[in-house]
Amino acid sequence: MKKVMKYAFMLIGAVVVMLGAFVLFIYVSDFPSYSVQIPSVNIDYTPSRVERGKKLASMLCVECHQNPETKQITGRLMFDLPPEFGTVYTKNITQHPTKGIGAWSDGEILFMLRTGIHPKTKRAVPPYMIKLPTMADEDLYSIISWLRSSEPMVQPLDVDNKQSSPSLLTKFLMRVVIKPFDYPTKPILLPDTNNSVALGKYLVSNLGCNDCHAADVTKVNALEIEKTPGFMGGGSNWTDVTRTTLYSSNITFDKETGIGSWSEADFRKAIKDGIRPDGRPLSYPMERKVQLTDSEINAIYAFLRTAPHLHSPHKPAEEFVIAKNASKGEQIYVRYGCQRCHGESGLGIGDLRQAHKKYPDDSTLTDVIKHSSKYYPETVMIQWDGIIKDDEYAPLCAHVRELGKKAEQAMVR
């Protein structure tokens, strides 16, 4: 008996030591590396590709890479990443030869966007950098053409990249769960734009709808989207700029818990304006997409209609708690979810801390809040006109000014 106990203890001891060694290994090691085979491509940067690439990049790349204070794509802190993943910065993707990606070949950019393997370091890129394994070659050529173009946003800027510190959890996921995609062996063609369902499927698979509206982001099937568990039924958790949790909604055509009773026009309003049929705004990170045409949105609707109807009620979001003695303006700011994008301080994916200086009188500041598209044509900010009550603008403007002044004082100190 004693002997059995002794062996049992030795075995447990050995397992503990091995586990410890494994954790230590993950902790000190970098992301795993893979073999890199850069495709040889020769992309013609035509004006129509640059134009198309700009539209795609404005939906898929700019926000993550854009510093909200300068509006330049030189990288930013990923405010909205759950803290368990560590502190992460996106990178300078301007044409700067050393700090940006000016010296990368087209094939290197293409290879990374397709596979998720960094062509220079040969390391896998973390899950929070986009991968586009099913995007048509032509659309990827367009994004690359835009990155190479004479558009102001991509011009070289001498801004250093900040060092990220991914957590143990991220490193573990990178070793064990997340695998890069194979570089496709056949050309990927654009969908037939006359086939609404096919176009809709293409957009759902390439605009992130599939990733975010899955039941669990770690189980997304990016190559055969319909095989994603809980396809379009929502339920996965997301965080806003304040790192408050909210859940994606059910966008199958289930009548009770999905969008089965929405008309095509209701759906267009939600996607373009960010407003539901009952008047409630959609919350970040669900962003309205002003860049999509009506027929593209109708195509998404047509495709969603074909997906199995799932019964999956929308889980309530975590509450963002503010001080009991918060000003009336701050209460309004939080009631409408301004902090989801602007944070508590006014700085998030959008920066409103200069607004008090740019718009010294309340009537202009109110107009900016009501009709921000007039000032920023492609903004993800909802047009608050008709949603925020008229008598709420004065205290809300006061709070916006307060945030600007607080930031100024912090600079002086």
Binding residues vs ligand HEC (CB under 6 A):
57, 60-61, 64-65, 88, 90-91, 93, 101, 109, 112-113, 118, 125-126, 128-130, 143, 164, 207-209, 212-213, 238, 246, 248-249, 251, 259, 270-271, 276, 282-287, 300, 317, 336-338, 340-342, 349-350, 352, 354-355, 358, 368-369, 372, 376, 379-381, 384, 396, 400
Please state the φ and ψ torsions of residue 245, each to the nearest 5 degrees. Answer: -85, 140
Least distance CB 222 / ligand HEC (angstroms)? 13
- Measured from the CB atom, is 46 or 98 closer to ligand HEC? 98
- Measured from the CB atom, is 187 or 377 closer to ligand HEC? 377
Q: What is the dihedral of CA 154, 90, 249, 168, to 10 degrees?
A: 160
Least distance CB 24 / ligand HEC (angstroms)? 22
Which H or E element spans position 87?
strand 86-87
DSSP sequence for 11-79: HHHHHHHHHHHHHHHHHHS-S-B-------------HHHHHHHHHHHHHHTHHHH--TTT--SS--B-T
> Are the CB atoms for 241 and 224 separated by under 8 Å?
no
Give the number of other CB atoms < 10 A from CB of residue 321.
Answer: 9
Give the number of other CB atoms < 10 A from CB of residue 267.
Answer: 19
Least distance CB 379 / ligand HEC (angstroms)? 3
Least distance CB 101 / ligand HEC (angstroms)? 5
- Measured from the CB atom, is 155 or 379 closer to ligand HEC? 379
- Measured from the CB atom, is 113 or 178 closer to ligand HEC? 113
Least distance CB 365 / ligand HEC (angstroms)? 6
Residue 87 bridge partners (DSSP): 165
Least distance CB 371 / ligand HEC (angstroms)? 11
Closest C-alpha to 255, from 200, 311, 209, 297: 311
Instruction: Give the Å distances, CA to CA, from 221 to 67, 179, 200, 314.
Output: 31, 12, 17, 22
- Measured from the CB atom, is 8 or 410 closer to ligand HEC? 410
Least distance CB 19 / ligand HEC (angstroms)? 27
Least distance CB 368 / ligand HEC (angstroms)? 5
Q: How far is CA 292 from the centre of its chain?
A: 17
Nearest residue to ligand HEC on Cβ basis: 350
